[in-house]
Amino acid sequence: MTLKTVTIGYPRIGPNREMKKALEDYWGKKIKQDDLVAASDKIFENNLDEQVKAGIDIIGVGHHTMYDPMADWTLRFGLLAPRFQPLVGTMSRLDLFFSMARGVGDVTALDMTKWYDTNYHNLVPEIDPSTTPKKDWADYIEMIKKAVAKIGGDKVGAEIIGPITVVDKASLKGVTLDQVVDKLIPLYIDLLKELKALGVAEVQINEPALILDKAKDLRSTYERVFTQLATVGVPINLITFYDDIGEAYPWAVKLPGVTAVSLDFTRGDTMSLLKKHGFPQGRRLGAGVVDGRSVWKDVSLASKMLKEIKDTVGPNVEVSVQPSSSLQHVPYDVENETKVDASLKARLSFARQKLQDVKAVATAAPGTAKGGVEFAVQDADVKEPPADMINRSKPFTERRSLQMATLGNVKLPTSTIGSFPQTPAMRKIRLKYRKGEVSSEEYQRAVDQYIAYCIGVQEGLGLDVLVHGEPERSDMVEYFGERMDGFLFTQLGWVQSYGSRYVRPPIIHGDVARTGNQPMTVREFIVAQDCTTKPVKGMLTGPVTILNWSFPRKDIARKEQAFQIGYALRDEVADLEAAGCCVIQVDEPALREGLPIKPARWAAYLDWAVKAFRLSTTVCKPELHVVTHFCYSEFEDVMQAIKDLDADQITIENSRSDDAVLKYLVEQGYDHDVAPGIYDVHSPVIPPTDKLMERVEMIKKSGLEFDRIWIVPDCGLKTRKWDEVIESLRNLVTATKSIRG
């Protein structure tokens, strides 16, 4: 007996990034709006074809977008922020849509925020008392009509973002969630009526807000919403994903009008909730057992889970087999990867393969389907690193005086965050080298010349701790992944980060170690250090960031992978130290974003994240000054972990904030060195010296101990031009010197 198969979202960027190309051509005025729409339609139709061909029974349709579904619904519900109102009527609806996404003239774009714990980012609608929702969803109805005509209404699951999730994701000013939700309900009712008239199989109402801890307090809101939506009488699939729905489970699965509830069994602990509270009869359980966020084939695991689910709910509850989430988080097709060997390929599963996996799980008797990952090892089974490998040999206060002596006891030492401008010439020769068009000698010569120039500039400017400039790195994770065993780099494994920006995360597929135990960064360090008597910072990407910006393995815990990367970096730190390095920066900009959705699981994550970092860094002598860098300066949730890293210095972005964060650090008793960025690297404006002096004075007054302050710009110098960088840094050094004096 085959179970029903359902999808709840598919990649929308095109197998060859067609959407990106079309968008950029349209924005660059190379193609017309009709061409853009045609490119988008083509992707939409191909996606439908693929899912029909795979035999999916109900296909999620509706999250197809040219930029971001949240932006789509912002416009479709008339939630246009006031600053965009004057644009209405001066441009096409589509251009209005893009102006929310990208800004136009001096009208700034909507903010972007992380979509739950994924690497996708959605736009943030802005809602205040003046917002008057109105329907503007003809484009959506057109899309659903097209799907109905093409594949038949009985196969169409019309995907929409639910009202509570929309409002929860919005930035609200002067209005409450309930007030806005209540304004929206009549519109949702109208929308559901229109969808009912089109004869769709079900409306897939995405309510990922249910996975948040705060959902437990939203029971009455959810009940009010669904009681009213139920009056329409269209089948509703209540879709949740990325985690279990926790305390909301007992009432959420019973919400009125809901004919199916889709739950993620691959993250969190949905299985325990199901076993504890059961599942109401008379509605379908959408079992998200095929991991929609993993690139690994997990048919065996999914099939075992399905058996457990079936055994729990018994024969009277219909169960459908589904990916645990939208497949937008995985690339299109592993068959596009011509360089991956067959045995590895057979274990991988991208969106197209996931469709087959869902079908395989649904077709076999539960528990019997085979393929891919068999067991997923848990955090608890991971061997902890020994204490002597995660502790420095001396406490901070003792090692600091040694470090400062090495660094010449400069007050307010100046430095930068690592990269210097990535010049077109450097990019060009790197590309040629990759294609085999220039020899490694020639490439290294170019890298070395760049490094020498970079050091010369920094010496000339009078900076205190120099960097080599990272000319050999196109990406801070890729560079290391390519020099370690266990990482696979795909050719077409793109996933959407936001709008037209896609990333190609490496896939961790085996145990991680430096390839041939060869140093990864020492050669460039030596080239740099040979050019100067000033200290040059070694520059590494941290274990947690490498892990969080990759697709992890599914057969071993992430914790174990973090430790493996930690051990590899530990060897690198030891090699840098042996080469004479006395300051090493280990960047961890992704530490905070790896926080699990449920605060109850933060401690476990931060525990292994901190250990992985310490594994990397504590190998060195007390004289070595260890720096870490975060692009963020939001510490509320991670303060203890930041302290526990036991880095000698933290560098943070701070130019766009006041002294609040610095004061917070003081209040929290953070007593290691701090380097707050004093100017915004993302702006082409050269910061004048007097402005920079004000910033330094502000830092001095924040309460941070004077002796512990370093002066740096924000991160991202690689995105600027040399002349801008030189002028800005000259002012930074001048400002610092006059304050020292």
Q: To the nearest whole angstrom, how small is the minimum distance from the Cβ of residue 715 to Zn ion?
A: 3
Interface segment toward Zn ion; rule CB under 5 A; list 157-165, 369-377, 592-600, 625-633? 625-633
Residues 67-86, interacting with ligand GLN (CB under 6 A): none
DSSP-derived secondary structure letter, 218: G
Q: Is residue 682 annotated as a catalytic residue, yes or no? A: yes
Distance CA 223, CA 210 (A): 12
According to CB under 6 A, which one of 195, 211, 704, 715 is a site residue for ligand GLN? Answer: 715
Instruction: Please choose, out of 154-162, 300-308, 416-424, 597-605, the segment that lies near ligand GLN by the rule CB under 6 A.
Output: 416-424
Which member of 715, 726, 729, 732 binds Zn ion (CB under 5 A)? 715
Could you tell me how many residues of this chain bind ligand GLN (CB under 6 A)?
Answer: 12
Of 215, 212, 211, 263, residue with least CA distance to 237? 263
Q: Report DSSP letters for 560-618, one per residue.
A: HHHHHHHHHHHHHHHHHHHTT--EEEEE-TTTGGG--SSGGGHHHHHHHHHHHHHHHHT
471 near ligand GLN (CB under 6 A): no
100 binds ligand GLN (CB under 6 A): no
The encoded tokens of residue 372 equal 């891919």
The smaller minimum CB distance to ligand GLN, of residues 289 and 631, is found at 631
On whether 631 is known to bind a ligand per the annotation, the reply is yes
Tell me how far apart the alpha carbons of residues 258 and 210 are, in angstroms, rounded to a whole number: 15
Q: Please, what is the minimum distance in Å from the beta carbon of residue 657 to ligand GLN?
A: 16
Choice between 430 and 718, CB closer to ligand GLN:
718
Q: How many Cβ atoms sit within 10 Å of the Cβ of residue 660?
A: 11
Residue with tokens 């609806």: 93
Residue for token pair 């390839």:
515
Nearest approach in angstroms of CB 237 to ligand GLN is: 39
303 binds, among Zn ion, ligand GLN, none (CB under 5 to 8 A by kind): none
Single-letter residue type at 651? T
Give the C-alpha separation, 548 to 505, whole Å: 9
CB 627, min distance to Zn ion, A = 12
Q: Among 337, 587, 588, 659, which residue sits at the site for ligand GLN (rule: CB under 6 A)? A: 587
Cα maximum dimension of the chain: 82
State the amino acid at position 234 in one-letter form.
V
Q: Which H or E run contains 711?
A: none
What is the three-class DSSP state of 336?
A: helix
Structure tokens at 472: 């050999």
Structure tokens belonging to residue 79: 């939630």
3 state DSSP class of 228? helix
- Which residue among the candidates 63, 329, 509, 682 is catalytic per the annotation? 682
Is there binding between residue 418 and ligand GLN (CB under 6 A)? yes
| Cα gap 650→709, rounded to integer Å | 10
Q: How far is the CB of 729 from ligand GLN (least distance, A)?
A: 13
Q: How far is the CB of 465 from ligand GLN (least distance, A)?
A: 13
Please indicate if the annotation marks 715 as binding a ligand. Answer: yes
Closest by Cα among 277, 284, 292 to 330 = 292
Torsion sign, CA atoms 410, 411, 416, 418: positive
Q: How far is the CB of 714 from Zn ion (least distance, A)?
A: 7
Cβ nearer to ligand GLN, comparing 360 with 712: 712
Q: Which listed residue (522, 631, 696, 735) binds Zn ion by CB under 5 A?
A: 631
Q: How far is the CB of 641 from ligand GLN (least distance, A)?
A: 18
Which residue carries 């395989």 as its tokens? 360
Per CB under 6 A, 718 contacts ligand GLN: yes
Between residues 417 and 619, which has the closer beta carbon with respect to ligand GLN? 417
Measured CA to CA, the distance from residue 48 to residue 54 in angstroms comes to 10
DSSP H or E run through 694: helix 689-701
Q: Which is nearer to ligand GLN, 385 or 589 (CB)?
A: 589
Is 418 labelled as part of a ligand binding site?
yes
**Among 469-477, 543-551, 681-689, 712-720, which window interacts with Zn ion (CB under 5 A)?**
712-720
Interface region with ligand GLN, contact rule CB under 6 A, candidates 298-306, 417-425, 434-442, 658-666:
417-425
* Residue 675 is a binding residue for ligand GLN (CB under 6 A): no
Q: 232, 267, 261: which is closest to 248 by C-alpha?
A: 261
Let me know if 102 is exposed, middle or buried by CB neighbors in 10 A (0-12, 13-18, 19+).
middle
Nearer residue to ligand GLN within complex by CB, 57 or 470: 470
SS3 of 552, please? Answer: coil
- Residue 417, annotated as binding a ligand: yes
> Residue of minimal CB distance from ligand GLN?
418
476 binds ligand GLN (CB under 6 A): yes
Which secondary structure element, helix H or strand E, spans residue 288, and what is its range? strand 284-290
Interaction partner, residue 718 (Zn ion, ligand GLN, none; CB < 5-8 Å by kind): ligand GLN
Q: Do 466 and 528 meet the contact criterion of CB atoms below 8 Å apart?
A: yes
Q: Which residue lies nearer to ligand GLN by CB, 99 or 521?
A: 521
Binding residues for 5-methyltetrahydropteroyltri-L-glutamate: 20, 119, 549
Q: Which residues bind ligand GLN (CB under 6 A)?
A: 417-419, 470, 476, 539, 587, 589, 629, 631, 715, 718
Binding residues for L-methionine: 417-419, 470, 587
Q: Where in the sequence numbering do the catalytic residues fall?
A: 682
Q: Which residues bind Zn ion (CB under 5 A)?
A: 589, 631, 715
